[in-house]
Copies of this chain bind each other. A is one copy, B any other.
Amino acid sequence: MSVVPDTSRNGVDTDTMFATLDLIDAQPELAKFQFRATNHWIAGAHNRSTIKGFYAAGGEDTTRTGEFHLDAGEPAILLGSDTGPNPAEYLLHALAACLTTTIVYVAAARRVNLTSVESTLTGDMDVRGALGVDDEPRNGFERIEVSFRVTGDAAEEKLREVVERAQERSAVYDMVTNGVPVAVEVATD
């Protein structure tokens, strides 16, 4: 007998989830979100992003009270001093985190109780591209491999369907596989 109320599954309040989906379906203008990061250079490969404000559901968020600070770096072989994960490692984390959360939400919606979600991601890069030594290799990863282990109280087939649906809906998986238009503007004073 489970002591978890029906409205919470995998740590997700499913009553709130379905109410949110109904609301956004009825008022699509509430679906316009904007996320943001500001970054400043510290020294060498060390820079830091601050993340707090975002726009959601018709207004500027007021619920997030604290700032998140993320430090980036490079290891010695890429001329840094390991002040943080490097940017490509952060991209792997973003992808892992988004697929995982989407798996958890999809499972909650489908009444699948998960017991574990673990993943290992690898990205292969020929650094001649990013270092400007050769124009042939691309700058970024040639490929990313994601290996998930997902367990829960459902048949293997159902667990696999949850992961497939998560790939179809993950925001970062979409961006990393399909790309996003990026506009860069520069001020110098």
Contacts and interface: CB of A to CB of B under 8 A. Distances in A.
Give the interface SS of chain A, mostly helix, strand, loop or mixed.
Answer: mixed
Contacts of A34: 122-125
Contact of A74 (B101, B121, B179): B101
A93 B51 contact: yes
Count of this chain's copies in the oligomeric assembly: 2
B24 A100 contact: no
A56 B39 contact: no
Contact of A75 (B56, B123, B184): B56
A47 B146 CA distance: 16
B182 A143 contact: yes
Interface residues of A, number: 130
Looking at A25, A61, A90, A134, the one whose CB has the most chain B CB atoms below 10 A away is A90
Interface string A1-38: 00000000011110011001100110010011111111
A147 B160 CA distance: 41
